[in-house]
Amino acid sequence: AYRNIIALQMQGSEDNDWVKLQFSKLTSLTLLEPSKVSRILENMYNAGMTAEIETVIKKLYEVNSKDIAANELMAVYFRNISNIEMELQFREDLRELDPVNYQLELSLARNYSAKKDIIKLRESVARIKSIAPESEEAKVAEQLLKDASVVNP
């Protein structure tokens, strides 16, 4: 069932029912592996299975709260439902699990910029520049800081 869901290129409404049927055949063991869950989420979303997505991601996190992928799925889930506070909380928790991930730090910088938290934005930009000074993420973060400084001198 797992392979069927990840292989499907959804094209019509009949595919929605098919994904739902295949999902019902998945074992709880499959749904507790972050890498497998992340591969089926797009088709679940396209099939309108938002309640199931929420349930699966929250259960996955409950069982794997120290897993980087489970935390990332929770952060993305909260971003997708426009809950920036919870997204930020999960991304800050992720920083503790993966302190040298400058892509994650850029996500935090974007959150701080959106919240107009200039102090934390500066700290986040400094972290990115210390981890990967020549990266594209460092350039983007620096621009976020410049833009925020123009708005909030």
* 114-89-127-133 Cα dihedral, nearest 10 degrees: -70
CB 146 within 8 A of CB 125: no
Give pLDDT tens digits for 66-97: 999 899 999 999 998 899 999 999 999 999 99
Give pLDDT tens digits for 116-133: 999 999 999 999 999 999
What are the angstrom distances between the C-alpha of 143 and each of 61, 105, 118, 127, 135?
33, 14, 13, 15, 13
What are the angstrom distances between the C-alpha of 37 and each of 27, 104, 130?
12, 20, 33
d(CA 145, CA 153): 11
What are the angstrom distances between the C-alpha of 122 and each of 84, 106, 119, 147?
19, 11, 5, 12
Give pLDDT tens digits for 33-56: 888 888 888 888 888 888 999 999
Phi, psi dihedrals of residue 126, rounded to the nearest 5°: -60, -40
| Helices and strands in the chain, H and E counts | 9, 0
Greater pLDDT, 55 or 18: 55
